[in-house]
Structure 1
Amino acid sequence: MIDKLEMFIALARERHFGRAAEACGVTQPSLSSAIRQLEDQLGVQLVFRGSRFQGLTPEGQRVLDRALGIVGDVRALKDEMRVVRSGLSGNLRLGVIPTALPMVADLTGPFTARHPNVRVSILSRTSVEILTGIESLELEAGITYLDNEPLGRVSQLPLYTEFYRLLVAKGSDLAGRRQVSWADLATIPLCLLTADMQNRRIVNQHLGDAGVVAAPMIESNSTVALVAHVLTGRWASIVPKRLADMFLLDGRLLSVPIVEPEAEHTVGLIAARRDPQTPVLQALIDEALRQFR
């Protein structure tokens, strides 16, 4: 039944029989047959069907909630037994908000050095996608904001505090300033992250508190794209200090502290609340404690 529950979870996540089958590595008829067998075993209809997937029935949603817990427990048990047999190994899928990508190697570098048989996949995701991915078992853990928007029932470990800088090209009008206020940015051409990013919502909030309406000409879900536009000299961007520091080495860009207020937000590691955690995830938490405390 575990295999059928895995397929059902994939279908609920993908909302498409073909994509769910591909994600599970089976044919679409095999997946459809497994879902029908699961419905027969449980005695309820789980999926509304037409010419395509039309959603879960109320009973299907209840089964999904239980299935996520059951499959999560089975995966944790398999991980524990694998450690008993051959030491710590396996895969770790880590969702990371784009603004935290510059620091992720501070965690994954020492972690993989200590545990060379663990393969780590680092996936750039929005804060909402990280929460959804952990809930749906697509991700084992995430690095995201802890103190700005509700996180729900996840375990949390603070890693560092994020501060904000105005990233400008050398020679721009603000390049010589020791600091700027949020209100000073009212007339600055900005390029910013897209509105689905929590960082953008944080920036909008601080600009709004200063009476500034954020109306960037350029938006992107990639911090690299923002930096590329700042390099042209036509735009500035509001980015976390750790991100800004990565691009200052060759002298073409400068970062100016943003004050009044000097805003700060906590970024941390989150995972499904489980006791005990899987061995791989516990090892990641232990490494985070070593590196960030």
Structure 2
Amino acid sequence: MGLRSLGRFFMLERPRPMANTPRRLSSPAALQRAGGEELGSLAALLDTAKPGESVHSARRRIKRLRSLLRLIRAPLGDDAFHRLNGSLRQAAVSLAGSRQVEALLTAARHLEPASAKPAYWRPLAEAHRQAHEAGSAPLTGLTAARASIAAAMQDLAQLSLTDDDDGTASLALVATYGKARKRLRRALASGAATELHEARKFVIHHLHHRSILALGTKKQAARLEALRQALGDLNDLDELAQLCKTSPTRPPARAMARLQKARGRLLEEVTAQAGRLFRHGPRAYGRRIGLDPGT
């Protein structure tokens, strides 16, 4: 269900805070200020980063900022939203190569013990790392990411949102919850890597939205984080499987069996977590966070 249709179903009043919510949902202006502060922190992080260092922290902060933008998309307007989101996406793309190498190395080490004979996944990921380092220019990616973040900072600072909390953020939260729920169900029904990857994006947005707006309990947040981690591990395994298709050495049957077994365990974990965390429909979920049904 989209934001507009949710707005028709729920009255655009200030939501009733949940009993376990430490503060009210933030106004567009408050979220804009929070975004500006986070962009400043991210710019400082990238300014001190050195080529070749881990960029995992920076990419996670970019994802959180993109989630924040979704909460204020309506008051921002589509043009401003697309400009800001595009700058953040470009920053993430500029850092993506290094992060993928890190993730595949970690996945291979978890998948295959050092004592495995013959080893396949570890050497494959290591060869990928060496090829990436030989053909990449880490400083170029870092410089491009810095420029994209600077552009986003300037763009956001020129906007002026209001302090009136009309429920925009909470409606965006519910809309994203609904998309995550729908995509998870579709992805788990198909088991397709591409659909699982898309579902993961919206689970991450939902996780960030709850964190930004201080909704829910620590236990719920931990479960969402576990779901995000499991989906991320699935994505890494699927990328390893894709990488082996480009390798001149075909994987031994034992290596593929190890990957498929690990993937099956993760799919079971995702199915269980998704069933608990996304059991309510969007409208019911909206009521649970205090939105009043419209008439």
**TM-score if structure 1 supplies the norm length?**
0.24
Larger gyration radius, structure 1 or structure 2: 1
**TM-score if structure 2 supplies the norm length?**
0.24
The structure carrying a bigger helix percent of its residues is: 2
The structure carrying a bigger strand percent of its residues is: 1
